[in-house]
Amino acid sequence: MGPPPVVTGVSPRDGPPGTRIIIRGENLGNDPKDLIGLKICGVDTLMTAEWKSSKKIIARTGPGKGKGDIIVITRSGGVGSCTVGFRGFFVQIGPLQDSAVWIDETQTVLANLGRGRPSSPMISKEDEDPLGISNEGNRAKSEEEMLEHFPDASGNLTLENFSPAWYLLENHQQASFDDLKMGLSYMKRRSSQQSEGPITFAKANLSGILDCLDSLTEMCEKFAKDDIQRECINSYAVSLMQAKSCADGLFQEVLGRKDKADATRNALGVLQRFKFLFYLPLNIERNIQKEDYNLVINEYIRAKSLFEDSPIQVFQKVYKEVESQVMKFKEMLQEKLRQPNSLEEQKKLIKYLMSLDIDNDPGWGCLLSQEKWLTKLFMDCKDSNTQEIQEEVPIAPPRHKASGGSLGLSLQAESRRELQEEAPVPPPRHKTAVVSSGLSLSGELVKVTSKSSDQMAGQKFKMPQKVVFVEELTDIMGRHFPDFWKLGQAYFSGSLHKEGGDKSYKPDQNKHAQFKQMVCEILRLFSNLLRAAFLPNSLENLSEKERKMYGQWPENKRDVPGAWLPHCVRYVRSCASSLCRLDLPSDCQACVQELALDMRTNCMFTLLKQAIADVRSLHIKETWIVELDDEFGGRTQLPALFGNIVNETVQHLHEVVVQNKTGETEIFSQRPVQIEATKLCTELLQGFAPCLEQLAFSVDKPNTTSTQSADLTSGSSELVMESSEDHLPSKDKKLIIMLSNCNHTKEHLIPLLVENLNKHGYVEMNKVLRSAQETYEKLDKKLFDSYVEEKSNPIIGSMEPNMYRGRFDWANYKRVNGVRNYLKEVLMGMIEIHAEVFSISPLFVSRVMTKIVDAVAEEMSRLVQCVTKFGENGAIQARLELLALQDAVALYRSAATRKSFKEALDCLTVLTQDNKKTLEDQLNKFKMQFKFQLMCFHSDTGEISESKT
Amino acid sequence: MSKAKTQQPAVIHKVIMVGSGGVGKSALTLQFMYEEFVEDYEPTKADSYRKKVVLDGEEVQIDILDTAGQEDYAAIRDNYFRSGEGFLCVFSITEQESFQATSEFREQILRVKNDDNIPFLLVGNKADLEEKRQVTAEEAQHRAQQWNVPYVETSAKTNANVDKVFYDLMREIRSRKMDASKQNNGKKIKKKDSKRKKCTIL
Ligand SMILES: Nc1nc2c(ncn2[C@@H]2O[C@H](COP(=O)(O)OP(=O)(O)O)[C@@H](O)[C@H]2O)c(=O)[nH]1
Ligand SMILES: [Mg+2]
């Protein structure tokens, strides 16, 4: 025989009957069969034993009571021993408590009966403390004493008038507060364990219960065997039934009370659990007020899932109320959705509606109402503005011209303020129109030419209605259309529905097309409204009715002034480009892009025309102040002004119109635009010519005193003429000034301007250059010819009479005595011309002088050839004079001049040696005499350097 | 059977395992008792173990009461503690809270036993889980010094220092018992704390 089993460990070491324990030790058997006995507290529990190893057995305790041994018996080791034991105790089984083992109730029941108390359903054993604190210390107070303190109470847990204070004083007077706290948590745990229910209990005590059943059947069989008459068993049955009914009777009351309590508890629980439903109507209302719609919806959905099909009337009633509230809520949301709102807000509303299970498609509905709303906004905007313009007092046309400069800007700002008052939506503040100084120049023109400036100052400035209109309309567009489009995108991408719940909407292809249609409609409306205002001609193909719909702007009023156009264009363009960024279908936004392009083109043409007009009226700006310039000769400021207008117009146009933004059509890509632009450019460049011409030939008051011979001696390089009308230069002086201007324009300015235009994308500039230069060429010729004629006529006209002054006779001339005065006068006249031209423009000197000299030489030659007879001295005199003249103007001799001289000299007889000498002497004498006067003819450059020094 | 019982040595050292749930009290006990290590965690209520050991050449019995760490049972711990002669106050070095809880256990023991020099070991278990350490040896050592008790780190898994803590504790108990029998010849240590606060509702 092997070593006997020893139990050295038990877990747990105590418990009620049926406790599952782990027994550990040594030699607890070699295998399950080796284990042949297990006694715990003297009760055989082999049936429950589960052999794990020779060191470990798991078993359940039986109904043994008190501390006892755990004895293992094995076949191999015999009866064992133990160093640890198990303490079995009876859990207090109350009358209503489940128990898997037999309980001897006689004691408790009888005791309770004896004391006339109902047995407690809660506490199973009197001496077990509900707090789990062991009863230590004696009772400090007697019952009588306690009654004194608590007259109506009792320390009995089972009684209605139970007083916890009494109980604690009675049983735990000495317990510390901590112990009491621990006791409380112990009690809580216990009560929660009790509520776990009978199934867990039966599970945990399965074997015990089966044991009980087995024993009962066994008992019954044994009885049946013994009881031959079958009377006994019947009488047992009868007794049992009686006992049962007796017990039932006994517990009826208790059970009834328990049932009632349970029912009440249930009801309370239900109320507690569903109180949210009863509060729901109130809560919904509150949350709607707080705009916490999500919460409303969540609560509603929760209520719906819980109570929609609830058969309970109370719930039905409240739920109906909730339903009707939610119906109203839905309507409110739908109403809200119909109203304009931010995109996010709308998406939210749609999601709310979706999650509320709205049957119709709220997203689509919203899109529809948005379209209507947008259309209405556009139309309203148009109506209010056209109306405004009708009501406008027919005052002077909007002072666009005044918009140049700071005055214009401040006025504009003011009008904006005014605008803000009537429209809640201030137009987006783009760069205000920058009006070039070229345009402000024309502004001054208007002041001078047309309306009196007084009237203008008195008039309240107002932004042209159309400009207001374009600002408002583009603002509406920019503000609301993207939202509309994005909402549509969201709708079709399904992102509106994602959170909407189970329904998965498939974007209906039909609706997709419809939406696109809507977008196109809106954009077309937008562009046509603007067209009606700015480009009414482009709507010509439409029916009268349609045109009416797009708004009729009074024709008689002056059109939007050019200075405002860039402003408008800017609005339209930025609107178009923001649409571009939205990734609209290209065919939809085409009309807006076209509109933008047309607006640009229109603006460009208008501004160019404006510039042409400005250029053409430049002549009134002439001050006749000539500034000398070594390179190009003298000129007034007019060419520079002309250049400025052109350049600034080009620059301005480039900034607002020509320059392309991404996605825009190149403005010069259209052939008609090219042609028109080129045409306008040509006109613009040519426009200066009439101006010059007009100035050159302008006949002013016959007061030409101030145009007296230019004062050569003054030596000043700047001829100051007072700009007052009384001190205008003489006619010929004007001619030469304008000639110089014209030349400068032709040679210098035009190429520069053309280059600039070219640089900015204007096409066919060669053509423009050519035609412009042709124009100026013509003007140049005309001016030049007039000038030369103007200048040479007096000299030539006076030559013949002067030559024959003092009854001069070539045939009988006595003595050759130097060059005669007439020739000196001719020379002086030429010097004077030289000086005048030189003072304006040295460049022209040679050109003018050649022409003059030519004419003089021709006249001289004619005169000489007309002489019928020369005397000897006469011939010498004639030769002397011819040679003197020839010599003096040698620098400006042309072929024709040379020919004239030759022909004249050929008529004269050949000189004798003597005469030759005389001639030479006389000639030298003249040269000496006139040395200084003639110096100017010697060399232009020499002259210039001399005049400089 | 009675013969077997008489063979048991008369001296029994009663050891109580205390500490938060899950720190390894049962694991230490079972390792000491049966050289086995249980991986799965089953909350203890109150387990009893007793076996014969040889302590410094003398045969004695060690009685181990493995208690519940859970505060659920805090109320009934008083009763257990009263019977204990020495305490292994276990915490897990991988769990700071369990270390904090040792103070409460110590307080409760001192209160119940009313003896500042009760044999007591502070045991930091699960020393094999160094990488999960939350309680440094220093701070544990520091606390042990404050209490004037030894601090030992153990591992029920690797059996490190397991025997040591039980034997050290038994030695302490033995020497205490010897002191006590010398001093209190006949006199009994007063078990009840007369100074315990009274409930002062009245
Ligand atoms: N790694 C490791 N795990 C341990 C150690 N001691 C106990 N455990 C584990 O920790 C868990 C709790 O152990 P247990 O002894 O039941 O803790 P008790 O509540 O204090 O009795 C169990 O899963 C054990 O396997 C140890 O030293 N090392
Ligand atoms: Mg444990």
What interface predicted TM-score (ipTM) does this complex get?
A: 0.86
**pLDDT tens sequence across A593-619:** 888 888 888 888 888 888 888 888 888
Tell me the best of B31, B38, B88, B130 to mutate to test the pocket of ligand 1, counting ligand atoms within 8 Å of each CB and taking the most. B38
pLDDT category at B199 given cuts 50, 70, 90 is very low
Is the pLDDT assigned to residue B104 strictly greater than 50?
yes
Domain boundaries, chain A: 6-88, 122-195, 218-264, 272-360, 366-605, 617-785, 804-948
Find the Cα–Cα–Cα–Cα dihedral A660, A665, A667, A673, rounded to 10°: 180
Judged by DSSP in three states, A880 sits in helix
At B141 the pLDDT is 95
Whether B201 sits inside 8 A of A168 (CB atoms) is: yes
Phi (first) and psi of residue A105, to 5 degrees: -90, -10
> Which residues from A are below 8 Å from B197, CB to CB?
176-177
At B161 the pLDDT is 95
Mean pLDDT across chain A: 75
Of B61, B199, B202, the CB nearest to A174: B199
Provide the token pair at B138. Answer: 């220093």
pLDDT category at B35 given cuts 50, 70, 90 is very high
Q: How confident is chain A (949 residues) per 10-residue block, as mean pLDDT?
A: 92 87 93 92 89 92 86 93 89 61 55 47 51 59 72 72 79 79 80 65 73 83 74 77 82 81 85 78 84 82 80 83 85 79 77 72 78 85 78 46 38 40 37 38 36 40 76 84 82 65 56 83 84 79 79 65 77 82 78 82 84 84 77 78 87 79 74 84 85 77 41 41 54 82 84 85 84 88 86 85 81 79 84 84 81 86 83 82 83 85 82 81 84 72 39
CA of B198 vs chain A CAs: smallest distance (Å) = 5
Judged by DSSP in three states, B84 sits in coil
At A359 the pLDDT is 66
**Considering just the CA atoms, what is the radius of gyration of chain A in Å?**
63
Is the pLDDT assigned to residue B191 strictly greater than 50?
no
Q: Answer whether A776's CB lies under 8 Å from A685's CB.
A: no
Provide the token pair at A571. Answer: 């609005």
Q: Point out the ligand 1 atom lying closest to the alpha carbon of residue B21.
A: 19
> Which residues from A are below 8 Å from B51, CB to CB?
8, 83
State the DSSP string of A655-712: IIIISPPTTPPPGGGSHHHHHHHHHHHHHHHHTHHHHHHHHHH----S--GGG-S--G
At A58 the pLDDT is 93
**Per-residue exposure over A478-494, b if at least 16 CB sit within 10 Å of its own CB, e if not:** bebbbbbbebbebbbee
Question: B201 and chain A: CB distance < 8 Å anywhere?
Answer: yes
Find, among A876, A717, A756, the residue nearest to A811 by Cα.
A876
Q: Point out the ligand 1 atom lying closest to the alpha carbon of residue B90.
A: 20
- Which CATH architecture does the domain made up of A6-88 adopt? Sandwich (2.60)
**3-class SS letters over A119-149:** CCCCCCCCCCCCCCCCCCCCCCCCHHHHHHH
At A829 the pLDDT is 86
Partners of A38 in beta bridges? A72
Please, is A689 exposed, middle or buried when counting C-beta atoms within 10 Å of its C-beta (0-12, 13-18, 19+)?
Answer: buried
At A556 the pLDDT is 54
**pTM score over 0.90:** no
> Which residues from A are below 8 Å from B76, CB to CB?
132, 134, 186
Q: Point out the ligand 1 atom lying closest to the alpha carbon of residue B42.
A: 16
